[in-house]
Amino acid sequence: QVQIQQWGAGVLKPSETLSLTCAVHGGSFSDFYWTWVRQPPGKGLEWIGEMHHSGHTKYNPSLKSRVTMSKDTSENQLSLELRSVTAADTAVYYCARVVEEMDDAFDIWGPGTTVLVSS
């Protein structure tokens, strides 16, 4: 049973850097792609980016200049960094597994980490 644990700073000031981590327990980490998705309060979902087995990353063009994703395969962990945050970055941030055999559907999601950007 694959489970995802997430953690990171919940309150940031404008211009600071958001830093989140998710850890995968109970399943293969290296055999899958992993993605980050966020959801502003009361709004829909927005894809942030994904990390491939090889370490190759793809980012949402609208966030690309501020985002870095990385992974630690030895710890089965994925990290997200988003620089120069503003109030518009306030959201619940989810880590999820991407399944290529399901046409890249996100089949397992973490519980989410709430991030508030406020001065």
Binding site for another protein (CB under 8 A): 37, 43-47, 58, 60-62, 94, 96, 99, 102-107, 109-112
Q: What angle do CA 7, 63, 78 make, to 5 degrees?
A: 30
- Minimum Å gap between C-beta 44 and another protein is 5
**Which is closer to another protein, CB of 103 or CB of 119?**
103
**Which is closer to another protein, CB of 18 or CB of 67?**
67
**Which is closer to another protein, CB of 41 or CB of 119?**
41
- Closest listed residue to residue 51, CA positions, set 36, 65, 67, 33: 33
Structure token digits, residue 27:
């399943």
Name residues whose C-beta falls within 8 Å of residue 106's C-beta, 6 or more positions apart in sequence. Answer: 35, 37, 96, 97, 98, 99
- Minimum Å gap between C-beta 17 and another protein is 21
